[in-house]
Structure 1
Amino acid sequence: MSRWSQNLTLILLGGAVVWISAFTTSYLNYVKAGFQPFLIAAGVIVAALGVLGLVRRPAAHEHAPRVAWLMTLPVFAIVLIAPPALGSFAASRSQRPPEPPANAEYDPISAAGGPADMKIAEFLARAFGDKKKSLTGKSVRLTGFVTPSKKKGQWYVTRMSIACCAADGYALQVAVLGAPAPKADSWVEVTGTWVPPKWKKLPSGMVFAEIAAAHVQPIKPPSEPYE
Structure 2
Amino acid sequence: MNRQAQSAVLFLLGAALLHAGLTDLYLRYVKAGLRPMLLASGAVLIAAALATAWYEWRRGRVDHPDDDHGHAHREPRVSWLLVLPLFALILVAPPALGSYSAMHTGTALQQSYGYPALPAAGRTLRLSLADYASRAVYDHGRSLRGRQIRITGFVALDRSGAPYLVRMALNCCAADAQPVKIGLTGRIPPVLQPDTWLEVTGTYTPRQTKDPVNHGPIPFLKVTRAAPVHAPHDPYDETWNT
Could you tell me whether the CA contact under 8 Å between 2:106 and 2:215 is conserved in 1? no
- How far residue 40 of structure 1 moved from its aligned partner, in angstroms, is 0.6
Query: Aligned ranges for residues 21-60 of structure 1 at < 5 Å?
Result: 21-22=21-22, 24-58=23-57
SS of aligned partner of 2:207: coil
Counterpart in 2 of 1:83?
Answer: 94
Asked whether the equivalents of residues 17 and 40 of structure 1 are also in contact (C-alpha less than 8 Å), the reply is yes
Alpha-carbon RMSD across the aligned residues, in angstroms, is 3.2
Query: How many residue pairs align between the two structures?
Result: 219
1:225, CA displacement in angstroms?
1.7
Separation in structure 2 between the aligned mates of residue 220 and residue 206 of structure 1, nearest angstrom: 29
Residue correspondence of structure 1 range 106-117 to structure 2 within 5 A: 107=117, 110-113=120-123, 115-117=124-126
What is the deviation of 1:43?
0.6
- Cα distance change of structure 1 residues 182 and 4 upon mapping to structure 2, 3 Å threshold: farther
Q: Distance in 2 between matches of 1:198 and 1:33?
A: 31
Q: SS where residue 132 of structure 2 aligns?
A: helix
Kept in 2: contact 1:97–1:207 (CA 8 A): no
CA–CA distance in 1 between the matches of 2:208 and 2:95?
Answer: 38
Q: Does 1:7 align with 2:19?
A: no
Secondary structure of the 1:90 match is helix
Separation of aligned partners in 2, 1:87 and 1:105: 28
Q: Does 1:168 align with 2:173?
A: no
> How far apart are the structure 2 equivalents of 1:224 and 1:3?
39
1:127 maps to 2:136? yes
17 and 156 in structure 1: CA distance in 2 versus 1, 3 angstrom threshold: same
The structure-2 alpha-carbon separation of the partners of 1:194 and 1:53, relative to structure 1 and needing over 3 Å to count, comes to same
In structure 1, how many angstroms separate the alpha carbons of the residues matched to 2:7 and 2:115?
Answer: 55
Call closer, same or farther: CA 1:164–1:15 in 2, change over 3 Å.
same
Q: Which has the larger radius of gyration?
A: 2
